[in-house]
Amino acid sequence: MATVWHFYRDSFRNMTWGRPLVWLILLKVFILFAILRVFFFKPAMAGLSDEERSRVVGERLTGEHPEVGDPVPVPETYQP
Amino acid sequence: MTAAYHWLFVPLTLGLALVMAVMETIYVIRKDDFWKKTAQYWMKLFAINFAVGIATGIILEFEFGTNWSNYSWFVGDMFGAPLAIEGILAFFMEATFFAVMFFGWEKVSKRFHLASTWLTGIGASISAYWILVANGWMQNPVGTTFNPEAVRSEMASAQAFWEVISNPVAVSKFFHAITSGWVTGGVFVVGISCWYLLKNRQRKFARASILIGSIVGIVGSFAVMLSGDASGVHAAEFQPMKLAAAEGLNDGGRRAAFTIVPGIRIPGMLSILATHDIDGYVPGINDILNGYTDNEGNEIPSVAEKMAMGRKALVALSLYRSTDDPSEKAEARYALEENVQYMGYGHLEKPEDVIPPVGIVFWAFRFMIGLGMLMLLELLVVGWLAWKDKLTGKRWLMIAALACIPLVYICGQSGWIVAEVGRQPWTIQGLLPVNVAISSLSAGAVKTTFFLFLAIFTLFLVIEIRILIGAIKKGPETSNE
């Protein structure tokens, strides 16, 4: 384990052209998880239990759709 | 759109991984430092592309929770399992072999280093496989059953998991995506190498790179054709509307003609491509709307009939979830299972809703094939002339090779449009249309997050291109012969 640790540590310390790339990756990960995820990409069903999620999606699926007896429009011949 | 953006980086990663692995293999076999430096140079460009491309896919996973919450719940473990495997695999393979590949040149044996380089490429390809298993399931949802209690698709057994991971759509998509990455890598290497020749720099390096790049690209091109053929057959079988839209085929039939461009058609060719039989029946848009008999003699219902069955499924689902009467529940479950394969059609307002934007898909398909053929021609000509050492003085050809770099990206993006726009209106084929899959968010909120992502990551893309150009201008460490 110590050998592996030294391999990574020394390699990162001695990096030349790769150093800005590592900073770029760290910056990107920070933006992704500390800004975008926290402030903009909040899960729409966060905090709901599995039962509540099933109910919400079930209502969405069965809530707004034409009824069984509603006539289906006859398709017109497709013309581009 | 986000996936298309992510796809800007993936093909070059896949292609350059193969190019540098081949170069390093030659180095290990020949023990010639020239090949080591050549491989190291392309590895550097690989790293720059990788650094900017990495994590652009993570935003998709954020979007699943925010923008596609109904979809995310509906697909259940089916989507979570492959993505989790991909994430774990990518992390461990990349953290180990990628690190050894970059840092281990003087620290591990040549053979161990070579194995790490190959495993980096193989790891990236395996990652792509799991992503395409998830995507392939959306195009052809096999191996799962719909659980009305949980309102989720579930894999009930190991057999089901096997069906999901061996989904023919996923397999053909995987080979198509990977080998198109080889073409991208080949065209990129050949184009950049031609730039050195135009500048009269690094001639030996450039010629050697052109040879390897063109071989990888040519092999990739033929493999793309084979996997594309399989994709066409699968589209005909599982997503006939996508094929009809890609061909602009209003009325199908046997000995269906393939349209090269409007007005120029090859009789019977579409039947051969779609069914491997000149007499094979290929349904057009109107046939799909009105119902038809497929090549196995199955009566395919009209879209109106599918809509009626879909509505029965949704009403049965509603009853199943609302009643406590065991016999009513059993009846509802039976009705649901009878019609569930058309459940998504129950949400449609009119049959024409199943038609994707035909013009976009039709022309994207032509761009993909036309540019793909152009790439093959370029690789053959430049590769052959490099082999014969007759590239000197052919400036126009070298400029054309350089110009092919943006074209190969347009080619790849066109393929993505055919696959993803062509399956509209479905998020999951036949089961879940887009308008039901999305969260209850305002269009403004979705636009805000997307354009925010686009702005930030385009900034990263600009930075990448600047670093990339800097590295290209600096050139490899091979002698300037």
B281-282 and B253-254 as β-strands: parallel, antiparallel, unpaired?
antiparallel
Q: Rounded to whole angstroms, how far apart are CA atoms A5 and B103?
A: 13
Whether the CB of B467 is below 8 Å from some CB of chain A: the reply is yes
Scanning the structure block, which residue is given the tokens 């393979």? B93
**A21-25, B92-96, B270-274, B367-371, range with the lowest pLDDT:** B92-96
Q: Rounded to whole angstroms, how far apart are CA atoms B396 and B187?
A: 16
Higher pLDDT, A17 or B205: B205
What is the pLDDT averaged over residues B275-287? 95
Q: Give CA separation, B324 vs A47, B329, B336, in Å.
A: 27, 7, 16
Q: Residue A25: enclosing H or E segment and its boundaries? A: helix A19-30
Of B59, B351, B441, the CB nearest to A44: B441
The string of pLDDT tens digits covering residues A24-60 is 888 888 888 888 888 888 888 878 888 888 888 888 8
Residues of chain B positioned with their CB less than 8 A from the CB of A78: 250, 285-286, 289, 352, 355
Instruction: State what percent of residues in chain B have pLDDT above 70.
Output: 99
Phi-psi region of A6 (alpha: psi -120 to 50; beta: other; left: phi over 0): alpha
In this predicted structure, what is the pLDDT of residue A78?
Answer: 59
In this predicted structure, what is the pLDDT of residue B104?
Answer: 85
* Model confidence band, residue B77 (pLDDT cutoffs 50, 70, 90): confident
Packing angle of the helix pair B168-198, B358-387 (nearest 10 deg): 50
Are B394 and B267 contained in the same domain? no
Sequence letter at residue A75: P
Q: Rounded to whole angstroms, how far apart are CA atoms B246 and B240?
A: 10
Are B336 and B386 contained in the same domain? no
In a domain, A65, yes or no: no
A75·B351 Cβ contact <8 A:
yes
Q: Do the beta carbons of residue B23 and residue B212 sit within 8 Å?
A: yes
Are B126 and B257 contained in the same domain? no
Q: Rounded to whole angstroms, how far apart are CA atoms B402 and B396?
A: 10
In a domain, B20, yes or no: yes
In a domain, B480, yes or no: no
Q: Indicate if the pLDDT at residue B141 is higher than 80.
A: yes
Higher pLDDT, B214 or A32: B214
In this predicted structure, what is the pLDDT of residue A66?
Answer: 52
* Model confidence band, residue B144 (pLDDT cutoffs 50, 70, 90): confident
Are B103 and B173 contained in the same domain? yes
What is the pLDDT averaged over residues A9-19? 81
Are B378 and B295 contained in the same domain? no
Helix/strand number for chain A, H first, E second: 3, 0
Domain count, chain B: 2
Q: Which residue in B416, B360, B470 sits closest to B8, CA to CA?
A: B416
What is the pLDDT averaged over residues B194-201? 93
Residues of B (20-79) whose Cβ lies below 8 Å from A: 44, 47-48, 51-52, 54-55, 58-59, 62-63, 65-67, 69-70, 73-74
Are B232 and B296 contained in the same domain? no
In a domain, A3, yes or no: yes
Q: Which residues of B112-131 are buried (b: 16+ CB within 10 A; e: fewer)?
A: ebbbbbbbbbbbbbbbbbbb
Domain containing B296: what range? 253-351
Domain count, chain A: 1
In a domain, A40, yes or no: yes
Q: Which of B103, B320, B342, B457 to mutate to test the interface with A (most CBs of A within 10 A)?
A: B103
In this predicted structure, what is the pLDDT of residue B196?
Answer: 95
Domain containing A12: what range? 1-44
In a domain, B481, yes or no: no
Residues of B (379-408) whose Cβ lies below 8 Å from A: none
Q: Do the beta carbons of residue B281 and residue B295 sit within 8 Å?
A: yes
Of A44, A58, A68, the CB nearest to B69: A44
Are B315 and B413 contained in the same domain? no
In a domain, A54, yes or no: no
Packing angle of the helix pair B443-474, B33-53 (nearest 10 deg): 160
Tokens representing B383?
């590769």
